[in-house]
Amino acid sequence: MQTSTRTYKYVSAEDPTITTIIIDWQSTSIEPAFLYQGQTQTFAALPAPSQTEILGQETTDISQTERDRKNVSIFNQTYNVVMTALIPGMRTSRLLDPALFGIFYYCHTTWTDSAVMLRRELQDSEDFEVKQRLMFWLMANIETNADDWVPNEHWVSALEANRAAYRLWIETARESEGEGELGVEKADILWPFDARR
């Protein structure tokens, strides 16, 4: 294997107090579009409504604040049009469900959102996976769909199978509660269908 004879020196060999190259690592990185999908540039961010708007009071004169609000509204609309027309990949990522990329988003923004948000997102993701696996298992065993719908002629047998599966689910949660995994209260919350007892 041949090594490169080119070496990059960030500090001068003659005088170590002189920096020869500065690399802005943030601007050289390549990041997925979904990291910026929820962000609007500050010049195009719509301001919070004023007190008069919140209280529903009418004013006849147009103040400087109102003119600024109209200008920002135009900036916001222009920003959205440009994002749609010139950067279609970004538009596509802005339309995605935030649940799909939440973990990745919080990995990137832990310095602003803190590690607590990342941990919460991971917990929600685990709960979602458990609920989905449970629902698919129930759909296969009770012969129902994701909306807990069964034909009228199978209602009684499906209801009994649902109740038996719920009792088994709660019993399993009770047994694993001592191990610190799944508690009865959380198991009840994760149960996807209405009929429980």
Tell me the C-alpha distance between 165 and 138, whole Å. Answer: 8
The answer to whether the beta carbons of residues 117 and 106 sit under 8 Å apart is yes
Q: How far is CA 121 from CA 83, 103, 116, 145, 190, in A?
A: 28, 6, 9, 27, 16
Structure tokens at 33: 């579009």
Tell me the C-alpha distance between 114 and 118, whole Å. Answer: 7
Alpha-helix residue ranges (DSSP H) falling in 109-183: 110-142, 155-177
Give the model confidence (pLDDT) of 52-74 as tens digits.
656 665 555 567 777 888 888 88
Cα 13 to chain centroid distance, Å, stands at 48
pLDDT-derived band at 29, boundaries 50, 70, 90? low
Phi, psi of 78, deg, nearest 5? -65, -45
Instruction: Give me the sign of the Cα torsion angle 131, 136, 140, 144.
Output: positive
The answer to whether the beta carbons of residues 63 and 38 sit under 8 Å apart is no
User: What SS3 state is found at 15?
Assistant: coil
Give the model confidence (pLDDT) of 93-118 as tens digits.
767 766 666 777 676 666 677 777 77
Give the model confidence (pLDDT) of 120-146 as tens digits.
888 888 888 888 898 888 888 887 877
pTM: predicted TM-score of the whole model, two decimal places: 0.47
